[in-house]
Amino acid sequence: MAENRIPRDIETRESKTRVKQWQQPEMLPEPDKMPGFVYRWIRVSTLSVADPRNISGKFREGWEAVPLEEQPKFKLLADPNGRFKDHIEIGGLLLCKTPAELVAQRNAYYQQQADRQAEAVDNTLMRQSDPRMPLFKERKSTTSFGKGT
């Protein structure tokens, strides 16, 4: 019985590889992140028309342009004719960074603004509430998962 068998070390199995699928390339590559900083692409122009109002507002918020020396992998991608020399500008977008603490403070500020607006809407609704048919303010959402069959 064993005489017709081929030894295992000689027998090879063809490896079936999956055909590589085409993917649309990313327009903006991901920068190497430094701890304590948040990175963001900020618009400096649209259709080759400069947008100084947007970029100056972002600079006043605390964003600063990332120098090319800090992210050397972008050397070939950076626009040599861009307005921001020695910085990373791709397709009208400038790579900027800011300390993570500033982002957390900004997010807390806007969350507080949203909470105040929701509270104002609730107060207006409750003012119009009738005891015979009260309005409820329910600000809690739940997520439930069903059983799979």
The predicted-structure confidence for 67-102, as pLDDT tens digits, reads as follows: 988 888 888 777 777 788 888 888 888 999 999 999
**How many structural domains does the chain have?**
1
Average pLDDT for 124-131: 70
The answer as to whether 122 is a domain residue is: no
Of 35, 29, 36, 40, nearest to 73 (Cα)?
29
The answer as to whether 84 is a domain residue is: yes
The answer as to whether 149 is a domain residue is: no
Instruction: State residue 22's pLDDT score.
Output: 85
Q: Is 47 left (phi over 0), alpha (psi -120 to 50) or beta?
A: left
The answer as to whether 105 is a domain residue is: no
Rounded to a whole number of angstroms, the CA Rg of the chain reads 28
The answer as to whether 5 is a domain residue is: no
Is the pLDDT at 64 greater than 90, yes or no? yes
Instruction: State residue 1's pLDDT score.
Output: 54
The answer as to whether 88 is a domain residue is: yes
- From the CB of residue 62, how many other CB atoms can be counted at a distance below 10 Å? 15
Tokens coding 38: 């948040």
Give the 3-state secondary structure percentages of the chain, helix then strand then coil, rounded to 5: 30, 15, 55
The answer as to whether 92 is a domain residue is: yes
Tokens coding 121: 């809407």
Domain containing 85 equals 37-99
Mean pLDDT score of the chain, rounded to an integer? 81
Q: How much is the pTM?
A: 0.62
The answer as to whether 106 is a domain residue is: no
Alpha-carbon torsion angle 43, 46, 47, 52, nearest 10: -100
Task: Say which range, 74-78, 103-107, 141-145, has the weakest mean pLDDT.
Answer: 141-145
Average pLDDT for 122-149: 67
Is the pLDDT at 58 greater than 60, yes or no? yes
Average pLDDT for 8-14: 64
Tokens coding 31: 């920068």
Position 144 confidence tier, pLDDT thresholds 50, 70, 90: confident
Sign of the CA dihedral with 37 first, then 60, 83, and 27 last: positive
What single DSSP character describes residue 67?
B
Position 145 confidence tier, pLDDT thresholds 50, 70, 90: confident
Element (H, E) at 114: helix 100-127
Task: Count the residues in the chain.
Answer: 149
